[in-house]
């Protein structure tokens, strides 16, 4: 019984840490269709209220009232071949996620601006077949966060604008995995539903040293999220129910800070060429303590994430006063070491290819659309610390990709 209880506590620990264990793939950077179409390289070329997320320092340059809202449809695909030396292949169940965003800002004649944004900074998930070989590591994983971001900005002069905001983060996670009752026969499932809130802040500076050059710098702080979870068990034999730990677990986790930098050039007629760099401080997720409500010993979990970065390039061609054509490319580095990669979200270095367009129906109303194809670099794991059975590491090969389609509507009043 003691061994079984220890196993269940370990499984619950692995369940609850999925909220912080979200490198790369769970981070949502698509917060506007123009940004999606230009591979996110818009930190220094902003013309609507989505600047609340990308760089609030630009808000003072946006006249009047700006409202932007829309969604991104994300269609992920992932396959696992293994565990080595097996070559059996398993695919995740098909699904779609739709992180959404709403931004509104108003600039006074004094160039003082106020705004608010509501968006999903982290989200997505995976669902593997309930009978797959890695079911004791994970079956279903769903994460959703909302950030409410009131913002104030001021254009100091023709050359510099600054902005700052507060972030109230609401997070929810639902995770399911199989339970083994060895040495007893049969299997069950454990499901954890958890939620929590946290706070952070963001700053931005927008520079126009030359009429044809703009520079953007922005920082979004980490957010400490206090997470409470409820564990549910199914198909557990009666003889083992007393060995289960308490159903309530809690922890405090930190979502990483992000640094954004960009530069844009308008020197070529009708073209905007932009570059962006994003640095993600994943190393902030270092140690996490988990507490169980029934007095079970507090467990400390240690991660070995490295900081990550994204390099971005975007191009916009203004065909006429109403139509803009866009394209871009990004490279997103993977922060997860091979030995800690989990099938809950099989992360890897990624290449992103984007296209899109914008159309202004009137001077006050427009629509943007963006498409991105993400190709994950094939990843072979040979030294996994993740076990699908005692003494059996989940080594194998991961292949993943995703299609993203963004649509948003713009109002300039």
**Total number of residues shown for the chain:** 413
Query: In Å, how far are 141, 349, 406 from 379, measured between CA atoms?
Result: 20, 9, 28
Domain ranges within the chain, ordered by starting residue: 2-412
The DSSP symbol for 97 reads B
pLDDT in tens, 287-330: 666 666 665 555 555 566 788 899 999 999 999 989 999 999 99
Q: Scan for tokens 């269709």, then name that residue.
A: 33
pLDDT in tens, 165-218: 999 999 887 778 888 777 677 788 888 777 889 999 999 999 999 999 999 999
Tell me if 40 sits within 8 A of 310, measured CB to CB.
yes
Confidence of residue 20 (pLDDT cuts 50, 70, 90): very low
pLDDT of residue 2: 47
pLDDT of residue 164: 97
Q: Is 382 exposed, middle or buried (0-12, 13-18, 19+ CB in 10 A)?
A: exposed
DSSP three-state, residue 259: strand
Q: Scan for tokens 């922005």, then name that residue.
A: 218
Determine which of 16-30, 48-62, 298-312 has the lowest per-residue pLDDT on average: 16-30
Q: Does residue 227 surpass a pLDDT of 80?
A: no
- Domain 2-412: CATH class, spelled out: mainly beta
27: β partners: 122
Between residues 237 and 203, which one has the greater pLDDT?
A: 203
Question: Between the CA atoms of 47, 373, 334 and 347, what dihedral angle is there, to the nearest 10 degrees?
Answer: 130
Q: Which residues contact 3 (CB under 8 A, 6 or more apart)?
A: none
For the four alpha carbons of 37, 39, 42 and 43, in that order, the dihedral sign comes to: positive
**Cα–Cα distance between 246 and 292 in angstroms, integer?**
6
Q: Is 96 exposed, middle or buried (0-12, 13-18, 19+ CB in 10 A)?
A: exposed
């Amino acid at each position: 019984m003691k061994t079984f209880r220890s196993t269940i506590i370990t499984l619950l620990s692995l369940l609850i840490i999925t909220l912080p264990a979200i490198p790369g793939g769970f981070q949502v950077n698509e917060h506007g269709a123009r940004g999606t179409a230009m591979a996110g390289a818009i930190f220094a070329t902003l013309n609507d209220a989505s600047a609340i997320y990308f760089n609030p320092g630009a808000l003072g340059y946006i006249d009047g009232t700006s409202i932007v809202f829309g969604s991104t449809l994300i269609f992920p695909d992932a396959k696992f071949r293994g565990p080595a030396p097996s070559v059996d292949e398993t695919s995740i169940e098909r699904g779609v996620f739709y992180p959404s965003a709403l931004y509104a800002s108003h600039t006074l004649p004094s160039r003082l601006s106020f705004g608010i944004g509501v968006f999903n900074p982290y989200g997505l998930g995976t669902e593997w077949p309930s009978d797959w070989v890695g079911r004791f590591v994970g079956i279903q994983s769903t994460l959703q966060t909302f950030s409410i971001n009131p913002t104030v900005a001021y254009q100091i002069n023709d050359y510099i604008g600054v902005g700052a905001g507060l972030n109230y983060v609401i997070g929810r996670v639902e995770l399911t995995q199989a339970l083994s009752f060895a040495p007893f026969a049969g299997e069950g499932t454990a499901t954890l539903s958890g939620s929590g809130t946290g706070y952070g802040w963001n700053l931005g500076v927008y520079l126009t040293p030359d009429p044809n050059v703009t520079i953007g710098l922005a920082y979004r702080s980490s957010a400490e999220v206090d997470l409470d979870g409820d564990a549910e068990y199914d198909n557990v034999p009666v003889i083992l129910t007393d060995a289960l730990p308490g159903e309530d677990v809690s922890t405090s986790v930190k979502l990483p800070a992000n640094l954004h930098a960009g530069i844009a050039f308008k020197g070529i007629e009708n073209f905007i060429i932009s570059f962006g760099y994003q640095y993600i401080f994943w190393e902030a997720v270092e140690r996490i303590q988990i507490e169980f409500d029934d007095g079970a010993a507090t467990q400390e979990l240690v991660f070995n994430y490295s900081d990550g970065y994204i390099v971005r390039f975007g191009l916009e061609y203004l065909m006429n006063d109403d139509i803009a054509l866009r394209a871009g490319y990004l490279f997103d580095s993977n922060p997860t070491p091979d030995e800690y990669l989990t099938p809950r979200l099989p992360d890897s270095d990624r290449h992103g290819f984007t296209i899109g367009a914008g159309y202004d129906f009137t001077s006050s109303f427009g629509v943007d659309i963006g498409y991105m194809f993400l190709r994950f670099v094939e990843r072979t794991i040979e030294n996994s610390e993740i076990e699908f059975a005692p003494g059996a590491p989940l080594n194998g090969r991961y292949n993943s990709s995703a299609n993203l389609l963004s649509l948003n509507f713009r109002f300039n009043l």
